[in-house]
Structure 1
Amino acid sequence: MSLDGQWRFALASNAEAADAKFGKFYEASFDSSAFAPIAVPSNWTTDDRFDEPRYRRPSEADGFYLHSFDAPETLKDRRVLLHFDGVWVSAEVWLNGKNIGRHDSGFTSFAFDISKNIKPGKKNQLAVRVRQRVQSHRFDTNDDWSLPGIYRSVWIEDTPRELFIESVGVRTAFDYEYRNATVEVRAMISRNEKAYIFAPSPPFELRATLTRDGKTIATHTYTAATITSGHNGRDVPITLRVDSPAAWTAETPNLYDLRVDLYYHDKHVHTWSDRIGIRDVSTTGGVLRVNGRPVKLRGVNRHDEHPDVGRATRAEHWRQDLELMKAANINTVRCSHYPPAEGFIRLCDEMGMYVLSEIPLGYGGSDLNNPILAEGVYLRLHETVMRDRNRPSIIVWNFGNEGAITSIHLAGLRMLKGLDPTRPVLKPFRADTHLPPEIDILAPHYWSAADYDRLAADSRRPIITTEYSHALGPGEFDFGELEQRFDTLTAHPTGAGGCIWIWADQGLRRPVNGRQILHPMRDKKHYTPYGAELVAENIIENGAAIIDAHGNDGADGIVNADRTPQRDYWETKAVYAPVRFLAERIAFNANQPVLRIPIRNDHDFLDLNTVTFAWTLHRDAEPIENGTATLAAPPHVTAQLEIPAAKITDFAQHVYYADIAVLRADGSEMTRKSVRIGYESTPQPAAPAVANPAAPKIEKRASAVSVVAGEACYEFNTATGEISAISIAGKRVTDGATLLVWRPVDYGERNPLDKRERQYDWDTFMQNIAPRLVSWNIAESANAGAVRITATVEYRADDRNIARATYNYTVTNTGVLRIALEIEPKLDALFIPEAGVEFSLGKNLNRLTWLGYGPLNSIAGKTAATRFGWWSYATADALARGNKWNPDWIRVTTADGASLHVRGAQAARLGGDANGGYTLRVLTHQSGGWTKLFPPERPEWYLDLEKTKKFSGAFEVVPVR
């Protein structure tokens, strides 16, 4: 009988006010006219009538709930339990004015026996006082919102009073060859009737029946069982044997229906039923195995939270998350840092998702040298395991989160092993070689790829990196090196995979009501990690509300709080794809009949024939042939995809590549890659013909020099040393260019900068600085048919921030401009994010075209979601704006057909100026994607000012129409 619905609620600001105002609120005579309606389940801080949500640290407010309900007459002479699925943090409960108990644990389910307190056939009054601050509340606080209230369902369950099934535990195991299995049922039968202490009960029977799709698979009856004494229980074992079972895995989520029936006095008195999966988990040989096979976990951490409802999540939220995860090839969820709603775990059973379920110790895990806290640890451990021990999706128990190991931890580990010896255990963050034997799995956090490699090469235990890549902030320059870390770890047998931090931004929908809205980066000094300030990740509802992830603290998701995918989601999908292309470029010989592309099946249980390959062969931007294919290959075996090659000709004039989509059985796209054909140099679009190449012409004017070569005209400002204009065939394509040594930084990059002794506006730092010419030289080389200009220019923001650049311009007789750049930045910063030249393009731009990786933005260490191709987008398209890492060439085109074509750049990016015009950042150097709060791990991907004093690079501008 559900008690969900409208309850009545009042709030007291602290314990003293609570005792003074609501001390007798549970009595029938109490005046509750001031109580307001509230939904149960819900968090009271997601209702702006009551209180503000606070990040990490809860307020001192206590909540008071009242609810009246009619108890059916049928509850008479029954055993009646009052269940709470979740109350954060502490629930003290009264029924009909009588105190029935208190429970201090915010994320675990609990129940009271109310058989003696409920009034069958009458109106009953339930009263609940919810405290946020109790002795053990730090076990229920994490790097997330503290959200108090009765936020999960409440219901009443009745069972027979005299003899009933109190609990059932199910274990499944396979034989040595993993052909047949056993389902071991352990049912606790409790007796509660008047009887002499040594008197046995009348015999009872217990029958277990296993079915699938309505067909009985196995059944067994335990007969003539008795229980001695009137108040006692008996553990009854039943074993069901299953031949050739349909095993449960995340790839094959096969479920069976198990029913246990109790017969007493020749009558059927009680039934317990559940959906179970037949599977086992082991760490044999230091390898994580499911059903005897090694598995690789492609995981994310997940908070049980949604912006509209806080933690009062419902089935539609769970299904949305799991559907999006499965679409992104995620096969594992770590329940950070507490057990979620039971319905979510059951949906993982049904849809196929491995689960690392966490015993909630939160920030309290660092306090466990205090012996008095043992009670809170063991309660949470017991309730977590007992609720979910039969869930096949749960393959590992996480014992708390980051922190030390104490004697309380050790006792808890032993208790955990006693409650459930069928699953391995890990302690997140701990990967020490001297860990106690009760810890089966090493679980390092945020190690480099090289460190994972070293650990996995020598480990005797499996490794699950329970947090290893951090999706901090919404920008494009974070979430670096996911692919490198995952591939390096899982290349080893002991490397079982890992979980990204985190699935969704920890954002809540919050009304503004005229209050100040803080920016997550610019206003970091104005909000705390424990506050209720409004920090806008997104402004919504025409400014009436915001999505608040508390800025730097909770904007960690690969999807937004509303589950809109971020760029990082697509990177995750690509890295986690269980079909792996083993070549990005293949050799090709003339007259070769077919292309052979090696593809590895990285599924752990499914054959490669469960997917379809849909391929399209391209010549430049043009598709010239397509087809589909299926391949057969067992897990972890490589097959060859063959594509006809008859239409591949004239390599000197064209680029060829095969674009290949991998489609699941339902037609959805698992992954998509392109394979470039041949290793020849990249053909460039044709340059304007120069009938009789001649040395470029130099035209000098006041403060300006023009160099004309063929159809190209390059103008230089002799007062600044910079390019002032470029024209092709008489059409102007740029209004000037200037030095780049900075851009507005992303969250991860900004965090160490904000700790510097001297502070700057990191969004505008080293931007729009007037050049000061130091030296200028122009030389004409008749023999080489080129003009060379060398200009040294200083960009001084102040005495502590100076960048000196030497431009070496070379204009050839074919009209190509080569810009070789040497930059010496002396900045009061740790690094530069990028360096190069920014071209001003005006407002007339209408298209961006490039050959290289796309269509999504890319940066060093974050390229898995891109694929090689010839891409072209209108400049209004969002895909035109993202960063392009290592393009073969890139071109911008104006509405009147003028083009700026660049080759040889390390990266390029279209942007905008203050006047509504466009800019093109052509970069000779660019830092890679940051990793959590740290710079790129590979030194070549980090522009470290402490180690590098001069940055040298070059690119070319090619005159094309």
Structure 2
Amino acid sequence: MKVFKCLTIIGILLASFACNSRNNVLTKIWVKDVKTPVVSLNGTWQFSMDEKNWSDVQVPGELQMQGFAIKHDKTYTYKTTFTVPSDYSGKQIGINFYGVYSYARCWVNGTYVRDHSGGFTKWTCDITELVRPGEEVELKVEVCDKTNDISYASGYAKHQIGGILRDVELTALPKQNFKLLYFETELDKSYQNADLKVFYELKQDSPSKIKIDLFSKDGKLVKSLEQETSSKSGQFQIQVENPEKWDAEHPNLYTLVTILFDGKEEILKKSEDIGFREVKIDGNKLLVNGKPVKLRGACRHDVHPTLGRMSTPEYDLQDVLLAKEANINFIRTSHYPPSEKFLEYCDRYGLYVEDESAVCFVATNRSGEYNSIDATRSDPEWTQYLSQCEEMVQNHRNHACIIIWSIGNENRFGDNFQKSYNWVKKNDKTRPVIFSYPQYVPDGAQAFDIFSSHYPDWRGTNARYKEVTIKGFEYPGMPAIFDEWAHVACYNKFELREDPNVRSFWAHTLDSMWTNIFEVEGGLGGAIWCFLDETFMLPKETVGYGEWGIVDTWRRRKPEFWATKKSYSPTKIYTKVVQDFLPNDKLIIPVHNRFDHTNFSELKIVWKYGEQTGELEQVNLEPHKKGQLVFPPAHWNFDEKLNIKFYSNDTILVDEYNLQLGEKKVELPVCSKGKLNVNETDSVVFIAGERFKLKLNKNTGLIEDLKVNNELLLKSGPYINLKFPGEKNQGTNFRIDDYAKNWKQSSFKFEVNDGIATLHTTGTYDKISAGFTVQIDENGLLDIRYKISDAPTDIYIQEVGIKFYTGESFNKMDWDRNAYFTVYPENDLGAAKGEVLLSEKTKMNYREKPEHNWAFDPTSFYYFGQEEKPSYTNIVRSLKENIYSWSLSVSNSTVKVFSDGSQACRFDKIDGINTIIINDLWDYNSLLWNNYQKRIKLKGTPEGRIILLCD
């Protein structure tokens, strides 16, 4: 947690420093004779559901998240008062709304001003004639959350999100000002020099003069140009020699200051950050500054943990910094345009952005009351399709980070989408456009420049919609982007409640997909669904689609976060084990540069082996190329691992590896000859060794009450653990069926030879038959072999193994395993080695920020509600895959499982009983959406061997 706080503080300081260093010439906007031309109206407003009873409400923020039970298609009212600064006299006075969902009407001092449709774009009210500077003003805003809104934003938030969701501000401008002001940068054929184009449209036709000043990031004047305006609109063009280029790995920004004159007097200055970059499509490649790019992406919603579908500058900054930390270079702003601040941070820190218009699921995936708008996609009366698209483009087009426009998400095509595409292509020729369901675009129509498909198979062999054939992540003739892929598990509540490790297992999907697509020329990349959890903690209950993010709503890193960082690594070492090495000779490791614009020579590469450390100097490996890392001679052997770290800017960790030299040698313990004390009655066999004692129940064939030092370790077992996916509910949510219930013994045999006890027992469960052979030696070693009969073979498995019911006093768990990645953060669910206290008790209060790592959450309010709480934290309950050893301890007593790296263990209180589960086979069937699954079907009579020590 301290690391996260530090990162956030550093990020804010960096942002402030960067802003000040570039904009030391002036603030964002300056108006002659006005001290503060932009005044925030955010804060506490009054709200009423009937215009009789008024309550305080936070603006911006959702209404339902603040306890107001609004309904669809009903009008509710906000109001506030403010004083117009006296120096606004003689100016054009306006109110900017950056997002009011979904339909709004505005009054000032009782006079109606205007209305607006669409909840995520900026719109302005001119109130110059309705107010007097120096006097108080009453502002009233009516909002209505419409079921037929084309964004469907309340539909997929699972509640009415209506309200003022983004900033509100009061502005003063000269009467003559800019109606439009936008910039384009065009690089020459060698991508060295640039033409900076400045386009403007003035409010009035009166003569003016415009001056353009271009400043470098250190505040030095680079270019300056003045021009008299002969018409209401026009353009400037400035040639700039060899500017520093902007890309996501080198976010070099300049400051462009545009000054408007009235005669000889400066009346208005506007300052904007710009990046010199050029986006082009070349066949099936997308080029940024002439270089092909691969988009390591995630989809992002606006989510505030207590205020809902909105964000703040602080959360916007955190999201950008977290994305950069996770090796993400691309954000899809699903399913609406983002805030201005978010885009500013993407410009500053370097993230590519697909900016998406707020049109979603028209005639496709809507449900219930939202289903009535299919015809609007071709209805000329529904002008908000085009108006929202225009507002998005005109408000955001100056951001270097935006490289793709999207005209909507998963809609059936219609005339209004064609109008949107045509308008964008006419007004912005610098960026490509996508339409996310191209299979619905009629033959002969041109409505997208990049082929978009959602949820390809992790191998790239098929898309979710079969009308369009996708092979190997490529589409003929143009780049293919999968701007929804690698869906994080969220729908299957049964599996997510039972085993949090499904989140770590998801790494198989993303790692495989990114590795596969990187080798394909026409595969542009993809965007994980999703960056943030989609959960809304309403005052009384939590709603939403579920915890589908790589971070939660509080911005805590989840297991999927590290999986993303490792899978998207641009410094990729594919091997985990180095087989070919000689002591005291150079060590050579193959490596892949998966950056787009960064040579390895720009990185700091440090290594550690035992007590030896070093830095690899000037590793010259170009982007998208494979090469080698050469390490100087050292005493290489099997006992140590080689640690390698890659840093950008000398301090930012890109990736880290711990490489095993030679295969790990595993020797499993076996039962040894010795002495056992054995006593027998008609119903029980009593066995005692050096430190343990147990009972064999002749009627059940089970081990019971195994104790060490009088501590109860194993209460009873072994039992078969056999689970399959059960009946599906809502498509991707299905039960997990237990096939091993209600054990009944059929036969029992017991013998002792050379001090080793052997138990043979067979029996039946409700759906299967099984048999066990258990050997026990004086040291407390249990060698357990099991065989399952009559098991189904035509369905995919969930778990196959055995389980024991245990005592209640364990206080520690530890493990050593062959993890999927060679490095994990401390206390990550997927860590190769770990130790955790079972007694760890962390606090989670509803709607309050947890002050601990996500792994130590004792519950999920979405999956367990506010009352039910599991007995153990996420890290305790999660399956530890591919173990070499796994143990539970209390005082000086331990239950320890040994394996060769092929088995998995988990521990939980199940149906009120502490239970150890040891699996030979396991899978996660909730990872649908074409994610990686093992897809195992049983063959013959499944059997296995478990080695367990009670000491």
- When normalised by structure 1's length, the TM-score is 0.78
Q: Secondary structure at the match of 2:448?
A: coil
Q: Secondary structure at the match of 1:205?
A: strand
Look up the match of 1:839.
804
* Closer, same or farther: CA 468–898 of 1 in aligned 2, 3 Å: closer
Look up the match of 2:41.
4
Look up the match of 1:585.
577
Aligned-pair distance for 1:872? Answer: 4.9
Match of 2:944 among 954, 957, 961: 954
Aligned-pair distance for 1:814? Answer: 11
Q: Secondary structure at the match of 1:179?
A: coil
Counterpart check, 1:466 vs 2:483: yes
Summarize deviations over 1:630-667 as a string: whole Å, max 9, x none: 55233233444455675455x5xxx5433444444463
* Closer, same or farther: CA 767–458 of 1 in aligned 2, 3 Å: closer
Q: Distance in 2 between matches of 1:393 and 1:78?
A: 33
* Closer, same or farther: CA 336–65 of 1 in aligned 2, 3 Å: same
Counterpart check, 1:741 vs 2:721: yes
Q: Distance in 2 between matches of 1:446 and 1:313?
A: 27
| Residues 843 and 916, structure 1, Cα contact 8 Å, conserved in 2 | no
Q: Distance in 2 between matches of 1:754 and 1:828?
A: 25
Match of 2:197 among 184, 204, 225: 184
Report matched runs for 1:723-802 at 5 Å: 723-724=703-704, 734-741=714-721, 752=728, 766=738, 769-776=741-748, 790-796=760-766, 802=767
| Residues 661 and 669, structure 1, Cα contact 8 Å, conserved in 2 | yes
Over the matched positions of the two proteins, sequence identity in percent amounts to 22
Aligned-pair distance for 1:853? Answer: 3.0
Counterpart check, 1:477 vs 2:502: yes
Report matched runs for 1:843-858 at 5 Å: 843=808, 845=810, 847-854=812-819
Count how many residue pairs are aligned between Structure 1 and Structure 2: 848
Which amino acid in the other structure matches residue 923 of structure 1? N
Look up the match of 2:100.
87
* Closer, same or farther: CA 129–178 of 1 in aligned 2, 3 Å: same
Which amino acid in the other structure matches residue 557 of structure 1? G
Aligned-pair distance for 1:927? Answer: 0.8
Aligned-pair distance for 1:258? Answer: 0.8
Look up the match of 1:637.
625
Which amino acid in the other structure matches residue 624 of structure 2? H
Aligned-pair distance for 1:309? Answer: 2.4
Look up the match of 1:443.
452
Report matched runs for 1:602-641 at 5 Å: 602-617=594-609, 626-629=613-616, 632=619, 633-641=621-629
Look up the match of 1:515.
none
Aligned-pair distance for 1:739? Answer: 2.5
* Closer, same or farther: CA 78–827 of 1 in aligned 2, 3 Å: same
Which amino acid in the other structure matches residue 214 of structure 1? G
Counterpart check, 1:500 vs 2:528: yes
Q: Secondary structure at the match of 2:425?
A: helix
Q: Distance in 2 between matches of 1:507 and 1:957?
A: 42
Look up the match of 2:927.
931
Summarize deviations over 1:853-886 as a string: whole Å, max 9, x none: 3599999xx9998888555555557655532212
User: Mean Cα displacement is larger for which, 379-388 or 829-838?
Assistant: 829-838
Aligned-pair distance for 1:804? Answer: 2.1
Aligned-pair distance for 1:753? Answer: 5.0
Look up the match of 2:368.
none
Look up the match of 1:265.
263
Which amino acid in the other structure matches residue 597 of structure 1? I
Summarize deviations over 1:354-378 as a string: whole Å, max 9, x none: 1111111124465244514531101
Aligned-pair distance for 1:2? Answer: 2.2
Q: Distance in 1 between matches of 2:679 and 2:750?
A: 12
Summarize deviations over 1:702-740 as a string: whole Å, max 9, x none: 445689999999975443344447789999864442324
Q: Distance in 2 between matches of 1:683 and 1:885?
A: 18
Q: Distance in 2 between matches of 1:926 and 1:883?
A: 10
Look up the match of 1:678.
662
* Closer, same or farther: CA 570–831 of 1 in aligned 2, 3 Å: same
Look up the match of 1:564.
556
Q: Secondary structure at the match of 1:573?
A: helix
Q: Secondary structure at the match of 1:92?
A: strand
Look up the match of 1:537.
none
Which amino acid in the other structure matches residue 214 of structure 2? L
Match of 1:486 among 514, 526, 544: 514
| Residues 281 and 423, structure 1, Cα contact 8 Å, conserved in 2 | yes
Aligned-pair distance for 1:318? Answer: 1.0
Q: Secondary structure at the match of 1:449?
A: coil
* Closer, same or farther: CA 238–723 of 1 in aligned 2, 3 Å: same
Look up the match of 2:76.
63
Which amino acid in the other structure matches residue 162 of structure 2? P
* Closer, same or farther: CA 320–699 of 1 in aligned 2, 3 Å: same
Q: Distance in 1 between matches of 2:209 and 2:537?
A: 54
User: Mean Cα displacement is larger for which, 59-68 or 385-394?
Assistant: 59-68
Runs of 5+ consecutive residues of structure 1 not aligned to the other structure: 14-21, 23-31, 193-200, 228-232, 513-533, 535-547, 618-622, 797-801
Look up the match of 2:5.
none
Look up the match of 1:389.
397
Q: Distance in 1 between matches of 2:391 and 2:911?
A: 61
Aligned-pair distance for 1:500? Answer: 1.4
Look up the match of 1:528.
none
Aligned-pair distance for 1:265? Answer: 3.0
Summarize deviations over 1:407-442 as a string: whole Å, max 9, x none: 221222111211212111112244689684431112
Choose 1 or 2 for highest CA Rg: 1
* Closer, same or farther: CA 429–573 of 1 in aligned 2, 3 Å: farther
| Residues 646 and 656, structure 2, Cα contact 8 Å, conserved in 1 | yes
Aligned-pair distance for 1:100? Answer: 2.1
* Closer, same or farther: CA 837–342 of 1 in aligned 2, 3 Å: same
Q: Distance in 1 between matches of 2:839 and 2:644?
A: 27
Look up the match of 1:527.
none
Look up the match of 1:520.
none
Look up the match of 1:151.
165
Q: Secondary structure at the match of 2:453?
A: coil
| Residues 814 and 834, structure 2, Cα contact 8 Å, conserved in 1 | yes
* Closer, same or farther: CA 120–873 of 1 in aligned 2, 3 Å: closer
| Residues 704 and 715, structure 1, Cα contact 8 Å, conserved in 2 | yes
Look up the match of 2:219.
214
| Residues 598 and 640, structure 1, Cα contact 8 Å, conserved in 2 | yes
Q: Secondary structure at the match of 1:955?
A: strand
Aligned-pair distance for 1:403? Answer: 2.2
| Residues 817 and 832, structure 2, Cα contact 8 Å, conserved in 1 | yes
Summarize deviations over 1:166-194 as a string: whole Å, max 9, x none: 211211121111111111111113425xx
| Residues 86 and 108, structure 1, Cα contact 8 Å, conserved in 2 | yes
* Closer, same or farther: CA 78–894 of 1 in aligned 2, 3 Å: closer
Aligned-pair distance for 1:456? Answer: 2.4
Look up the match of 2:872.
none
Look up the match of 1:119.
132
Q: Secondary structure at the match of 1:146?
A: coil
| Residues 608 and 634, structure 1, Cα contact 8 Å, conserved in 2 | yes
Match of 1:414 among 400, 417, 422: 422
Q: Secondary structure at the match of 1:343?
A: helix
Q: Distance in 2 between matches of 1:675 and 1:270?
A: 60
Summarize deviations over 1:502-542 as a string: whole Å, max 9, x none: 22223334334xxxxxxxxxxxxxxxxxxxxx2xxxxxxxx
| Residues 827 and 834, structure 2, Cα contact 8 Å, conserved in 1 | no
* Closer, same or farther: CA 627–270 of 1 in aligned 2, 3 Å: closer
* Closer, same or farther: CA 140–697 of 1 in aligned 2, 3 Å: closer
Q: Secondary structure at the match of 1:185?
A: strand
Summarize deviations over 1:450-492 as a string: whole Å, max 9, x none: 3267242453221221111222336322573222223222321
Q: Distance in 2 between matches of 1:680 and 1:159?
A: 71
| Residues 450 and 481, structure 2, Cα contact 8 Å, conserved in 1 | yes
Q: Secondary structure at the match of 2:942?
A: strand
* Closer, same or farther: CA 574–766 of 1 in aligned 2, 3 Å: same
- When normalised by structure 2's length, the TM-score is 0.79
